[in-house]
Amino acid sequence: MSGLKVAVVGATGAVGNEMIRILEERDFPVDQLHLYASQRSEGKKLEFHGSKITVKKLDNDSFKDIDVALFSAGASRSLEFAQIAVQSGAIVIDNSSAFRMESNVPLVVPEVNSHCLNSKSRIIANPNCSTIQLVVVLNPLNKISRIKRIVVSTYQAVSGAGQKAIDELNLQVKAKTKSEESLPENFPHQIAFNCLPQIDVFLEGGNTKEELKMINETRKILESDNLPLSATCVRVPVYNSHSESVNIEFYEDMNSKKAREILNRSEGIEVLDDIKKSVYPMPIDISGKDDVYVGRIRDDDSLLNTINLWVVSDNLRKGAALNAVQIAECLLGKNILEV
pLDDT at 1: 45
Domain boundaries of the chain, sorted by first residue: 4-127+320-333, 131-314
Are 129 and 157 contacting, i.e. CB atoms less than 8 angstroms apart? no
- Whole-angstrom Cα distance, residue 195 to residue 80? 34
Q: Give the DSSP letter string of 107-169.
A: B--HHHHGGG--TT-SEEEPPPHHHHHHHHHHHHHHHHS-EEEEEEEEEE-GGGG-HHHHHHH
Q: What is the pTM of this model?
A: 0.97
Q: In the prediction, which pLDDT does 193 show?
A: 97
Residues with active-site annotation: 129, 242
CB-based burial label for 189 (10 Å; 0-12, 13-18, 19+): exposed
What CATH code is assigned to 4-127+320-333? 3.40.50.720
Q: By 3-state DSSP, what share of the chain in percent is helix, strand and coil, each rounded to 5?
A: 35, 25, 40
pLDDT in tens, 61-92: 999 999 999 999 999 999 999 999 999 999 99
CA separation for the pair 304, 132 (Å, rounded): 27
Spell out the per-residue pLDDT of the chain, length 339, in tens: 479 999 999 999 999 999 999 999 999 999 999 999 999 999 999 999 999 999 999 999 999 999 999 999 999 999 999 999 999 999 999 999 999 999 999 999 999 999 999 999 999 999 999 999 999 999 999 999 999 999 999 999 999 999 999 999 999 999 999 999 999 999 999 999 999 999 999 999 999 999 999 999 999 999 999 999 999 999 999 999 999 999 999 999 999 999 999 999 999 999 999 999 999 999 999 999 999 999 999 999 999 999 999 999 999 999 999 999 999 999 999 999 998
Q: Are the CB atoms for 71 and 96 separated by under 8 Å?
A: yes
Helix (H), strand (E) at residue 313:
strand 306-313
- End-to-end alpha carbon distance in the chain: 10
Query: For position 332, what pLDDT does the model report?
Result: 98
Asked whether 317 and 26 are in contact (CB, 8 A), the reply is no
- The pLDDT of residue 180: 96
Side by side, the strands of the sheet bearing 45-48 are 45-48, 51-57, 30-37, 4-9, 68-71, 91-94, 123-125
The one-letter code for the residue type at 264 is N
Architecture category of domain 131-314 in CATH: 2-Layer Sandwich (3.30)
Contacts of 227 (CB under 8 A, 6+ apart): 147, 149, 150, 218, 219
